[in-house]
Amino acid sequence: MSSEEESKYQTPPTCDLLSLLLKNRRPTGAVNEVWPNLFIGDAATAQDKHLLEHLEITHVVNAADGPQHIDTGPCFYKDTNIVYRGIEAPDCKDFDLSPFFTETADFIHEALSQKGRVLVHCARGISRSATLVLAFLMIKERLTLVEAVEVVRRRRNILPNVGFLNQLCQLDSILAPQKRNT
């Protein structure tokens, strides 16, 4: 985005984001590389150690951690070299996922800077995991929300719930002026 476009950028309303997310949907697999060495996947992918080994995954972020969700955890991966981060988050529009944006972005960034390969997953790899990946792209890669959605959508169908979209819009409106000032 040029500096002129950046200065005119406005966080889009949620309805426009939903239109962007629903446009030109096509089948995507259980796991997709959406950014170099960054993957979004579903629970079955996260539980398939042979697939993770084949994909050379070094780090896993489980956005649906816990006994009521996808209870993998560090013990599940103890016979691998995978570094694990779990977030116990329901896929509910009233759940505030935003407190996890920065810490998850830092975890992903650190893994990628060490030449790692990161899988971010939830139950279906559509809402919670996608929200965390979009936040990473906005925080660490300095993309706008629209740019982040477009990047991920090239490789995977995603559809964060409306509450998560609103939280991403709020993050976008905080980050946009900071980008203009640097």
pLDDT of 182 > 80? The answer is no
pTM reported for the whole predicted model: 0.92
Residues 6+ apart with CB under 8 A from 138: 144, 145, 148, 168, 171, 172, 175
Q: What is the pLDDT of residues 13-61, one digit of tens each?
A: 888 888 889 888 877 889 999 999 999 999 999 999 999 999 999 999 9
Are the CB atoms for 60 and 48 separated by under 8 Å? no
Higher pLDDT, residue 178 or 100: 100
Q: What is the pLDDT of residues 59-108, one digit of tens each?
A: 999 999 977 778 788 899 999 999 999 999 999 999 999 999 999 999 99
| Mean pLDDT to the nearest integer, 135-150 | 96
Residue 84 Cα distances to 22, 75, 102, 152, angstroms: 31, 9, 16, 22
Q: Would you state the structure tokens that stand for residue 120, as one six-digit string?
A: 């971010």
Active-site residue identified among 15, 75, 92, 122: 122
Average pLDDT, the chain: 91
Q: Would you state the structure tokens that stand for residue 182, as one six-digit string?
A: 């640097």
Largest CA distance in the chain: 51
Which of 138, 87, 148, 129 minimizes the C-alpha distance to 109?
Answer: 138
Class of residue 145 by CB neighbours under 10 A (exposed 0-12, middle 13-18, buried 19+): buried
pLDDT of residue 141: 97
| Mean pLDDT to the nearest integer, 117-144 | 97
Q: How many CA atoms lie within 13 A of 75 on its CB side?
A: 6
Which CATH entry fits the domain spanning 3-181: 3.40.190.10, 3.40.50.1820, 3.30.1490.100, 3.90.190.10? 3.90.190.10
pLDDT of 181 > 90? The answer is no
Residue 15 bears catalytic tag: no
